[in-house]
């Protein structure tokens, strides 16, 4: 079974530039998550999708971050404009359903904003 | 406030030794508790998932316990190996809000030869 695919693996941009991350979840998984993990901390949920609908985006900085999940499969997370404090690993995860099922994580995209 | 606290923050042990990591949570309504292993530069990988009625669950050399009354969990690693060096994250899932996952900050384990 293929895992959660993310790209790119690494990205370096200057502050005020824009960047986009892509995630392809495990086939058949209805729930998709985007997390931000700052070095030395646990992941922080940015947004949770159920199919192509948003379940929770309460911690998404909506003035600069946006996410979409087209057709309930792939998802993209965009930052525009980036700030230095956005430097982190962005993890995508998926699960068959939101409750009581295992969440599988991708390898993440390491973003460095300089 | 829903929180997950882990201790210790970091731990160094010798290869072959056992160790126990702790997790305390104040999450309600509780659905399940998970332990993840995160190698450097990789995404977290699930080790165990326990519901309210489960007291213990094993996955090879990893054994997790859950005391729902005291809201505590532990992860015991037996006969540690160098490959066990990683961050271990305790995660509690809510019974509402779409099963939202509340993450601890992790325990950084280093196994030395």
pLDDT digits (tens, 9 = 90+) for B76-109: 999 999 999 999 999 999 887 778 889 999 999 9
Which residues of chain B does A43 touch, with a Cβ-Cβ cutoff of 8 Å? 44, 89, 103
Contact A100 B93 (CB under 8 A): yes
Q: Where is pLDDT greater, at B42 or A1?
A: B42
Contact A31 B45 (CB under 8 A): no
| C-alpha–C-alpha distance, residues A20 and B90, integer Å | 29
pLDDT digits (tens, 9 = 90+) for A15-54: 999 999 999 999 999 999 999 999 888 899 999 999 889 9
CA distance to B42, B74, B104, per residue, from B36 (Å): 12, 12, 10
| C-alpha–C-alpha distance, residues B7 and B25, integer Å | 12
What pLDDT does residue A98 have?
67
What pLDDT does residue B69 have?
92
Q: Which of B37, B44, B87, B104 to mutate to test the interface with A (most CBs of A within 10 A)?
A: B44
Omega cis (within 30) before A8: yes
Average pLDDT, chain B: 94
pLDDT digits (tens, 9 = 90+) for A57-111: 999 999 999 999 988 899 999 999 999 999 999 999 999 876 667 889 999 999 9
**Does A96 contact chain B (CB < 8 Å)?**
no
């Amino acid at each position: 079974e293929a895992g959660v695919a993310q790209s790119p693996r690494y990205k370096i941009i200057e502050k005020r530039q824009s960047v986009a991350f892509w995630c392809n979840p495990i086939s058949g998984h209805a729930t998709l998550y985007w997390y931000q993990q700052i070095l030395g901390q646990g992941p922080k949920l940015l947004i949770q999708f159920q199919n192509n609908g948003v379940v929770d985006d309460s911690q998404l900085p909506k003035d600069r971050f946006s996410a979409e999940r087209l057709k309930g499969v792939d998802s993209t997370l965009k930052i525009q404009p980036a700030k230095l404090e956005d430097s982190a690993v962005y993890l995508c995860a998926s699960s068959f359903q939101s409750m009581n099922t295992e969440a599988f994580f991708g390898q993440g995209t390491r973003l460095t904003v300089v | 406030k829903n929180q997950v606290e882990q201790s210790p923050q970091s731990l160094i042990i010798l290869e072959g030794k056992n160790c126990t990591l702790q997790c305390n949570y104040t999450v309600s309504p509780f659905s399940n508790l998970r332990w993840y292993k995160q190698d450097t530069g990789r995404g977290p990988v699930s080790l165990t998932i326990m519901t309210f009625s489960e007291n213990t669950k094993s996955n090879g050399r990893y054994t997790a316990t859950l005391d729902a009354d005291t809201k505590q969990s532990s992860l015991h690693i037996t006969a540690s190996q160098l490959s066990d060096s990683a961050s271990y994250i305790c995660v509690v899932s809510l019974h509402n809000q779409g099963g939202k996952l509340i993450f601890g900050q992790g325990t950084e384990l280093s196994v030395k030869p």
